[in-house]
Amino acid sequence: MKMKFVMATAALALCATAGAGEGCPGDLDGNSMVDVQDLIVVLSDWQCTDKCAGDANGDGIVDVQDILEVLMSWGPCGAEGCTTNADCDDADACTVDFCIMGTCYNLPFPGPGCGPN
């Protein structure tokens, strides 16, 4: 039972690692986070048509579509998937599970039977 849980956790961790840095078209500055910095890259390359960093969707011109691309992938890269806290339930009574902007967080919770061992 315990082993099964450990394996599931490892698989989840692997999955999260594999997703990072890939499938993140809005991350224009490559910091694995789509945020206001990436929006600034788009705006500073506005209407640029020469292989610009701000061309988030790769169509050859920096325009409103690129702003939308950034906004749609807003948040940490490779972490899409959760929309509610229930999506992040790791079946561990010793963590508090919640979803923030598409990312799951499972924080240790000092309940009965939990804690460092």
Report the interface residues with Ca ion, using CB under 5 A: 27, 29, 31, 33, 38, 55, 57, 59, 66
**C-alpha dist (Å) from residue 54 to 60, 75, 95, 102, 107:** 10, 17, 39, 23, 35
Nearer to Ca ion, 39 or 88 (CB): 39
Q: How far is the CB of 37 from Ca ion (least distance, A)?
A: 5
Q: H or E element: which one contains 33?
A: strand 33-34
Closer of 63 and 92 to Ca ion (Cβ): 63
Q: Which is nearer to Ca ion, 61 or 94 (CB)?
A: 61
Q: In angstroms, what is the minimal distance from the CB of 8 to Ca ion?
A: 30
Q: Whole-number minimum distance, CB 26 to Ca ion, in Å?
A: 7
Residue 66: burial class (beta carbons within 10 Å; 0-12, 13-18, 19+): buried
